[in-house]
């Protein structure tokens, strides 16, 4: 039923895109629909179909955006995937009218933390986000929360851009389920909502300081530091904090080619709640792993690009084993982002946990994505 | 963590208090999407304005990346001159990102009669602009219309010099008319007035000066030349003795080299935009490009 409903909504939206292109942005919002089907092969033993090519419809994104009035803009991203229809983002931004160049954003959004997290997967040259982000950041597919963000462009001489931002978030994505101890006095026996009060709200906070400097006419670099903190278990009062330092460099090597290098280093500080059945109290252990990724993407013409990625990070476990991953990717775009074919390979080499008798097997994954979009194409932001 | 947030909050508060527009002393700061609009604004505004431009003449104005440094520049501007007709949609990102609530945004296409306005449009036609061909500044008579719009905008922001802006716009219109007449005479003297262009950027130039665009290297706007399409151009060039391919500097040389080899035509590389945001640059650019097309300049490049 929900699948039929989702498909009916998609059909209506597609009809809307086709019917009103000339008026888009005048009285109607700009509407873009983006498909991302993919083929995948992996030798991961935990995958339902290891060593077989699987096809997946991927996620369909429907993007709406428009000015709401002279001061504010609205933005919605709805996604349709095999697991149903969801609001991925929905927020307003006050772009002008506030004193001193402040901007205010409110609603549900991909949190402006680090450099890669705010980007939608279709804008990233590889299929899966770096393992280190998946391991350290709150949220299942991205650090995506409901909240309020205020940012200020700090006036400096010259053209260096420095922006400071702070967010207050609902904080639900920080919750991590605690393993049931099995003891009869463990509050989890009553379920997570009653026992660990997992449904109670606890705000999370984000701070970001980001600077951009230009190199010549078109090239530039960006440096950013960000930090976030939230409660992962309300009853135990344990918290998760993540710190991030990001760097991005884009160098135009000719009128139509450029090299992009991007890296992030993350530090996770997570308190993990447990249960001491003898003393009938929560226990707290702490993990503080470190990790990061680096990728380089060379766009050697407006149509073609190729690149490599590398990451190395500690698992957020007590022994903090070091995992590594390598990857390579190539892409072809027929005409800007209207139709792109992206092939990438990723090899994850898990570290050997303390006491293990043999090394875990490396996992290879090859993904071929087709990204196609209809509707207006927005300007690319650095 | 609390310390970090407190520090950030203190920094933001301090900066809000001291964030005042940094205006050039006594001058209106005028930002423009392209050098041509900036050049016209420089002439109309005279000593009362300071102009700067976002897109460089050597890069494709269709694809300008929104850099935070542009937002910083525009945050200090009083007036922003947009090309409009859907060409510089990227300017909206810069304008919004500038957070400049006092910025006056002028769509310079407001009083232009666009050419090639399609009755219907879809993506199979390539990168077609639904509101018409947006390269209207390549007709000096449209430059005069833009100058009038700019004069009106400057007058709103600086009423004390309204008369001066109006007079300079009128003087500019006369100079634009002279450029137009001079160009018409030059093209009229060409034995063959048919040319190829790489992209459909030069429609207004051809329309103004009496050139005929016999074909474009791109089969449809935004799609690189195909072998089949280039062969068709070779046939046309041979039949009609097309002497010139007019090409922007940021497109690939391959098609031009092929056509030149097959038909002997000259490849003239010229930017659709003038070389700098300075007064006089806009009208001089017409003379330069037309002389190159007519083969009256030994240099095969403009910009």
Instruction: Find the Cα–Cα–Cα–Cα dihedral A126, A131, A132, A137, rounded to 10°.
Output: 90
CB B211 within 8 A of CB B193: yes
Interface contact flag, B64 A379, Cβ < 8 Å:
yes
Q: What is the pLDDT of residue A354?
A: 84
- Is a pLDDT exceeding 50 seen at residue A338? yes
Q: Do A161 and B69 touch (CB under 8 A)?
A: yes
Can you give A41-102 as a three-state secondary structure string?
EECCCCCCCCCCCEEECCCEEEEEEEECCCCEEEEEEEEEECCEEEEEEEEEEECCCCHHHE
Buried b (16+ CB within 10 A) or exposed e, A5-39: ebeeebeebeebbeeebeebbeeebbbbbbbbebe
Q: Are A296 and A307 in contact (CB under 8 A)?
A: yes
Tell me how far apart the alpha carbons of residues A255 and A265 are, in angstroms, rounded to a whole number: 31
Decide if B18 and A155 are in contact by the 8 Å CB cutoff: yes
Per-residue pLDDT averaged across A367-374, rounded? 95
Q: Answer for the pair B45, B87: CB distance below 8 angstroms, yes or no.
A: no
Q: Are A262 and A282 in contact (CB under 8 A)?
A: no
Chain A / chain B CB contacts < 8 angstroms: 133
**Chain segment A294-317, per-residue pLDDT in tens:** 999 999 988 899 999 999 999 999
Q: Identify the band that residue A22 occupies on the pLDDT scale cut at 50, 70 and 90.
A: very low
Separation between Cα atoms, residue B262 and residue B240, nearest integer Å: 14
Distance from CA of A212 to the nearest CA of B (A): 6
- Selecting from B1, B15, B89 the residue whose C-beta is nearest the C-beta of A154 gives B15
Give the mean model confidence (pLDDT) for residues A76-101: 91
Cα separations (Å) of A267 from A118, A135, A316, B6, B125? 18, 11, 10, 20, 49
**Alpha carbon distance B243, B107 (integer Å):** 36
pLDDT for res A334:
86
Residue A76, pLDDT score: 96
Question: Residue A252 has which token pair?
Answer: 């135009």
On whether any CB of chain B is under 8 Å from the CB of A160, the answer is yes
Q: Which of A101, A213, A382 sits opposite B19 (nearest CB)?
A: A101
- What is the mean predicted confidence (pLDDT) over A48-74? 93
Q: How far does CA A62 lie from the centroid of its chain?
A: 17
Does A356 contact chain B (CB < 8 Å)? no
**pLDDT grade for A155, boundaries at 50, 70 and 90:** confident
CA atoms of A346 and A327, how far apart (whole Å): 4
Specify the pLDDT at position B17.
Answer: 43
Sheet holding B266-270, edge to edge: B212-216, B194-197, B244-247, B266-270, B301-302
Confidence of residue A17 (pLDDT cuts 50, 70, 90): very low
pLDDT at residue A18, as a whole number: 47
User: For position B16, what pLDDT does the model report?
Assistant: 43
- What tokens appear for A144 in the block? 């995506």
> What averages of pLDDT result for each successive group of 10 residues across chain B (303 residues)?
55 46 70 97 96 91 91 95 95 94 95 92 80 96 98 97 97 97 96 95 96 95 92 95 95 94 95 87 95 79 57
* Partner B contacted by A303 (CB < 8 A): yes
Half-sphere exposure of B25 (CA within 13 A, CB side): 0
CA distances for B23 relative to A169, B48, B60, B76, B150, angstroms: 37, 12, 29, 6, 19
Q: For residue B138, give the nearest of B83, B217, B219, B68 by alpha carbon.
A: B83
pLDDT at A21: 45
Residues facing residue A373 across a β-bridge: A34
What was the pLDDT predicted at A19? Answer: 46
Q: Average pLDDT, whole number, for chain A?
A: 91
């Amino acid at each position: 039923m929900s699948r039929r409903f989702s498909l009916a909504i998609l059909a209506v939206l597609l009809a809307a895109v086709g019917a009103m292109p000339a008026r888009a942005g005048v009285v109607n919002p700009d509407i873009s629909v983006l498909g991302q089907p993919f083929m995948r092969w992996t030798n991961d033993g935990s995958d339902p179909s290891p060593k077989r090519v699987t096809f997946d419809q991927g996620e369909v994104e429907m993007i709406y955006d428009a000015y709401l009035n002279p001061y504010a803009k609205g933005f919605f991203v709805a996604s349709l995937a095999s697991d149903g229809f969801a609001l991925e983002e929905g927020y307003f931004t006050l772009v002008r009218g506030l004193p001193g160049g402040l901007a205010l954003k409110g609603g549900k959004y991909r949190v402006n933390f680090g450099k890669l997290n705010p980007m939608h997967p279709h804008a990233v040259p590889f299929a899966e986000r770096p393992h280190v982000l998946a391991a350290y950041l709150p949220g299942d597919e991205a650090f995506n929360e409901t909240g309020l963000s205020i940012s200020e462009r700090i006036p400096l001489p010259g053209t260096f851009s420095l922006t400071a931002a702070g967010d207050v978030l609902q904080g639900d994505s920080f919750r991590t389920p605690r393993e049931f101890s099995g003891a009869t006095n463990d509050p989890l026996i009553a379920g997570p909502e009653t026992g660990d009060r997992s449904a109670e709200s606890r705000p999370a906070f984000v701070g970001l300081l980001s600077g951009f400097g230009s190199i010549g006419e078109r090239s530039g670099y960006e440096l950013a530091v960000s930090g976030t903190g939230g409660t992962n278990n309300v009853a135990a009062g344990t918290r998760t904090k993540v710190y991030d330092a990001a760097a991005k460099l884009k160098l135009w090597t000719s009128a139509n080619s450029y090299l992009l290098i991007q890296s992030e280093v993350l530090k996770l500080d997570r308190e993990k709640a447990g249960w001491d059945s003898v003393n009938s109290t929560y226990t707290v252990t702490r993990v503080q792993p470190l990790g990061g990724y680096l990728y380089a993407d060379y766009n050697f013409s407006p149509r073609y690009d190729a690149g490599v990625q590398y990451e190395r990070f500690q698992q957020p476990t007590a022994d903090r084993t070091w995992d590594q991953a390598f990857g390579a990717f190539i892409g072809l775009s027929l005409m800007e982002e209207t139709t792109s074919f992206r092939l990438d390979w990723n090899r994850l080499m898990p570290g050997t946990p303390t006491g293990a008798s043999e090394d875990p097997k490396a996992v290879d994954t090859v993904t071929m994505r087709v990204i196609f979009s209809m509707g207006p194409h927005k300007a690319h932001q650095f | 963590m609390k310390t970090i947030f407190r520090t950030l909050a203190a920094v933001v508060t301090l900066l809000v208090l001291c964030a005042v527009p940094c205006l050039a002393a006594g001058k209106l700061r005028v930002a423009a999407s392209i050098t041509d609009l900036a050049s016209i604004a420089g002439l109309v505004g005279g000593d009362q304005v300071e102009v700067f431009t976002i897109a460089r003449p050597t890069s494709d104005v269709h694809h300008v990346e929104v850099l935070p440094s542009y937002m910083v520049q525009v945050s200090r501007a009083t007036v922003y001159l947009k090309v409009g007709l859907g060409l510089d949609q990227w300017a909206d990102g810069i304008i919004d990102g500038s957070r400049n609530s006092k910025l006056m945004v002028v769509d310079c296409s407001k009083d232009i009669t666009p050419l090639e306005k399609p009755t219907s449009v879809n993506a199979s036609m390539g990168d077609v602009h639904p509101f018409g061909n947006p390269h209207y500044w390549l007709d000096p008579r449209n430059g005069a219309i833009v100058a009038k719009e700019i004069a009106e905008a400057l007058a709103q922001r600086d009423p004390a010099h309204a008369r001066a802006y109006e007079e300079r716009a009128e003087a500019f219109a006369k100079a634009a008319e002279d450029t137009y007449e001079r160009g018409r005479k030059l093209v009229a003297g060409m034995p063959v007035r048919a040319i190829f262009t790489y992209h459909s950027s030069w429609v207004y130039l051809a329309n103004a000066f009496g050139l005929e665009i016999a074909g474009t290297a791109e089969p449809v706007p935004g799609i690189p030349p195909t072998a089949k399409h280039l062969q068709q151009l070779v046939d046309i060039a041979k039949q009609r003795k097309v002497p010139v391919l007019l090409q922007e500097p940021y497109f690939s040389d391959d098609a031009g080299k092929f056509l030149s080899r097959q038909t002997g035509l000259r490849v003239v590389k010229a930017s659709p935009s003038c070389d700098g945001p300075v007064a006089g640059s806009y009208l001089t650019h017409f003379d330069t490009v037309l002389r190159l097309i007519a083969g009256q300049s030994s240099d095969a490049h403009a910009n």
